[in-house]
Amino acid sequence: MASRKSFELRSIVYAAVCLALCMVLPLLTGNIRQIGEQFAPMHFPVLLCGFIAGPIWGCVVGGVAPLMRNLIFTMPQLYPTAIRMMVELAIYGLASGLFYRYLPKKPFGIYVSLLSAQFFGRVAWGLTSYLISLLDKNYPFVIEMVMTKTISECLIGIAIQILLIPPVVYAMQKARFISKY
């Protein structure tokens, strides 16, 4: 019983740290939208949260972070940007945690978990954009826009995530900071 409570407390602390990073990391880009879109500073802690705190906490942090950041810093703009990001980041956290839970805890499994989470998060962003376009004609859905926004504009951020997240997760495994949930 104490072991389970210890695990739950550790997950809550990791989730809180990741949420705090979601608030702070975008400040490094100076809240300049174009730079923030390229580096995707909120994506890193959300993906990491899914790995270290589990899929539920990853989903919660991903869903709450854009809204909380909008309320505190007025960035990202609530509609439609933060709405799309809430769905995208929630899926990132959920998918990274779920794939990590069920795949081998070896480097290959970590990379597959990360790439799968990135894929499903971007699909979620595109679907959310499509739903917004159905409800609001001021934001038309153009498939080229979705491809540009979800892939080409984020290549630097995707590369940084691929380079940094798996080694961090693997190091945390080796140091026994991550439990096998």
pLDDT in tens, the chain (181 residues): 457 777 789 999 999 999 999 999 999 886 676 777 788 899 999 999 999 999 999 999 999 999 999 999 998 999 999 999 999 999 999 999 999 999 999 999 999 999 999 999 999 999 999 999 999 988 887 777 777 777 777 888 899 999 999 999 999 999 988 865 5
Has this prediction a pTM greater than 0.85?
Answer: yes
Name the E strands within the chain.
Answer: none
Kindly state the tokens that stand for 51: 């790995």
Rounded to a whole number of angstroms, the CA Rg of the chain reads: 16
